[in-house]
Structure 1
């Protein structure tokens, strides 16, 4: 998703926050982090791929092309890859809007495939669960592809088959507004969960072996996905409602249900979902007006985000918004581990989509997570499961369901 508070806005607003003591990453933790396979389930970095002057092989630290993910940061932070996102903002739902969303999604897919073609010795497309370790062992970075917001499929849901052939392995149904398939967690319900069209899309994702992602969808959608999906589901970037009550977070009862059905929740680091930032109605009105000034979130041009981020940071400073810290992030992580068990937890920090907290500003800081988990008493096997094994298990299970359905149909 495009950030509620982007990396640039976060960096600017952090100037008003007292510096915290840096986490110490021991030699033992660093060695463990480098040894295990590490994946993040929600990388929004593809939004940068077509921007003139941005280069994934170089550090991108200068606005407006500063990103939280690039190859040097991945190397420094020991990130082997992850799930790279085709994000489409929710426009209206007229036929013209549906065609615009279709074209946007396909364009972003092409941009990801172009990056893979341009750097075959550095990045490789992963299609199965077993591909991740093979790609990492070959010295390359892992690229799974996901769709965030199914609106590119509204005009023609059969396009999901094409996306699957082109490498998509994860599907998030909705974003911050209801669409033709499902209700969002952020808007009043329209379908009371999934629409008929959404139920059909769930069945098609199961048939293809695409993992269903609940993040951003309503609680009713969660309940229906659990009931309908023949494969476990994931929440690719979501926090704990018990730690901070927010529509985008999930309650403990549903976390337990997710675990009972073999699913995985991958913890988000977007600050406004982690803590009460102190955003007042007046602040929210000014932010809404700022979005309107640039034509709305879904219609904003990539070139406009830098100026938007700068103005958003000024609003944050004006209203004294509080910034979440690595401690706040870990409050969610540790709570979710306690509720779900380490076999059902992972990390989807929403990099380049609003993620990042004080003390963990980009992927170069990821060894701090491993260090804290080690200090908390988790074993190497448990830590690797959280970093990649749990997500890969669900990918494997989704593909097994598809294979079983194909055999039954033949």
Structure 2
């Protein structure tokens, strides 16, 4: 989830079972693919009173876009559940608070998996993902959005590796001790000296580097310094909308040349309509985990009422697919994946929650892409990048 301070600062910013499935040969194509999303902000909902990831939630009455029943509706097999931490002060106190938050969020992801062990399992490797898929289980990787909680102590990366984190980005919406953000004024002109050490430690441990939210200079340096391919977990094309949060086509080609992949998001395909009323609601949404069920329901009601008079993004499913097809044209089928930013500001008319994913596959098939191409883009490229990482060497 993105903080209200950031949103105002940027220019735009289980206990669930499925019915009997038909034989694989008869199932719709999307249901036969192994599908992953590289950036799921849903863990912010895991601490909500009265909210359960195993229950079905409706967009009309709940702000979440992802739960186990809707994962099955949309045939999303799993993805990277984000440990997101708001950027705070670069002080000992700020680092300590951020670390406590990140540990708590990691524990909440673990509890979700344990509570729904019959239908979802924790994954650490590409082989884990394939095994869980063969077992008929959903797949839960962990990622870290913003390495700010590490403070100045890079040894903490090992702790989060042991907690299961396999994808991490150095920075979020504001510059920090590691790097410049895409949506802040340059401080380091890319990576800081500590950020360069962060890259080396990420490579040593075998954690995939996530360049989403990084400035252009930071991206360039991550790509140059990393010994292994990198990902962008949730980014859009700058040619679709000229915003610093988006990746330009030249850098997408450079990413592909180094074996990486860009996972296409639904955000920043237009200016973000952050009206004062929407800003107020976002501020409350940041603390939805602390609200009573009644307060959560009232927040949702106000949000949906505002949606009737103003949309947050001036884009829809058709615009999204135009961007996806252009990204594939530029980067190639071996270097595109999906990370829509569910529960973190993503979603558009026509692709409002996870259940809409089969429409993407249908449109790609209509555009002439083969089943093998689709398998690569929905999971193969992600698992290839994950498998290419180095191994921890103590």
TM-score normalised to the size of structure 2?
0.87
Query: Which of 30, 35, 39 is 1:33 aligned to?
Result: 30
Q: Where in structure 1 are there 5+ consecutive unaligned residues?
A: 5-26
Aligned 1:393-408 pairs, distance under 5 A: 393-398=384-389, 401-402=390-391, 406=393
Tell me the number of residue pairs that the alignment of Structure 1 and Structure 2 aligns: 371
Counterparts of 1:318 and 1:268 in 2: how far apart (Å)? 24
Counterparts of 1:3 and 1:128 in 2: how far apart (Å)? 30
Cross-structure match for 1:9: none
RMSD: 2.6
Aligned 1:56-75 pairs, distance under 5 A: 56-61=53-58, 65-75=62-72
1:135 aligns with 2:132: yes
Counterparts of 1:39 and 1:250 in 2: how far apart (Å)? 21
Counterparts of 1:321 and 1:209 in 2: how far apart (Å)? 37
Query: Which of 296, 299, 302 is 2:289 aligned to?
Result: 302
Query: Which of 294, 297, 314 is 1:323 aligned to?
Result: 314
1:107 aligns with 2:98: no
Query: Which of 348, 351, 359 is 2:350 aligned to?
Result: 359
Q: Deviations over 1:66-99 (max 9, x none)?
A: 4111111011111100111000111222221111
Counterparts of 1:284 and 1:343 in 2: how far apart (Å)? 39
Distance 1:229 1:357, change over 3 A: same
Query: Which of 263, 274, 280 is 2:269 aligned to?
Result: 274
Distance 1:315 1:96, change over 3 A: farther
Aligned 1:256-267 pairs, distance under 5 A: 256-267=253-264
Counterparts of 1:115 and 1:102 in 2: how far apart (Å)? 20
How far did residue 213 of structure 1 move?
Answer: 0.2
SS in 1 for 2:38: strand
Counterparts of 1:38 and 1:123 in 2: how far apart (Å)? 14
Cross-structure match for 1:199: 196
SS in 2 for 1:132: helix
Distance 1:232 1:39, change over 3 A: same
Is contact 2:154-2:201 (8 Å) kept? no
How far did residue 275 of structure 1 move?
Answer: 2.3
Query: Which of 367, 372, 376 is 1:381 aligned to?
Result: 372
Query: Which of 90, 94, 98 is 2:95 aligned to?
Result: 98
Counterparts of 1:236 and 1:62 in 2: how far apart (Å)? 24
Cross-structure match for 1:122: 119
Counterparts of 1:362 and 1:28 in 2: how far apart (Å)? 27
Counterparts of 2:263 and 2:253 in 1: how far apart (Å)? 14
Counterparts of 2:310 and 2:112 in 1: how far apart (Å)? 40
Counterparts of 2:36 and 2:310 in 1: how far apart (Å)? 36
1:341 aligns with 2:332: yes
Residues 254-263 or 315-324, more deviating: 315-324
How far did residue 116 of structure 1 move?
Answer: 1.7
Is contact 1:3-1:355 (8 Å) kept? no
How far did residue 314 of structure 1 move?
Answer: 6.7
1:157 aligns with 2:148: no
Is contact 1:54-1:60 (8 Å) kept? no
Is contact 1:3-1:353 (8 Å) kept? no
1:208 aligns with 2:205: yes
Is contact 1:240-1:336 (8 Å) kept? yes
How far did residue 157 of structure 1 move?
Answer: 2.4
Q: Where in structure 2 are there 5+ consecutive unaligned residues?
A: 5-23
How far did residue 291 of structure 1 move?
Answer: 7.9
Distance 1:391 1:81, change over 3 A: same
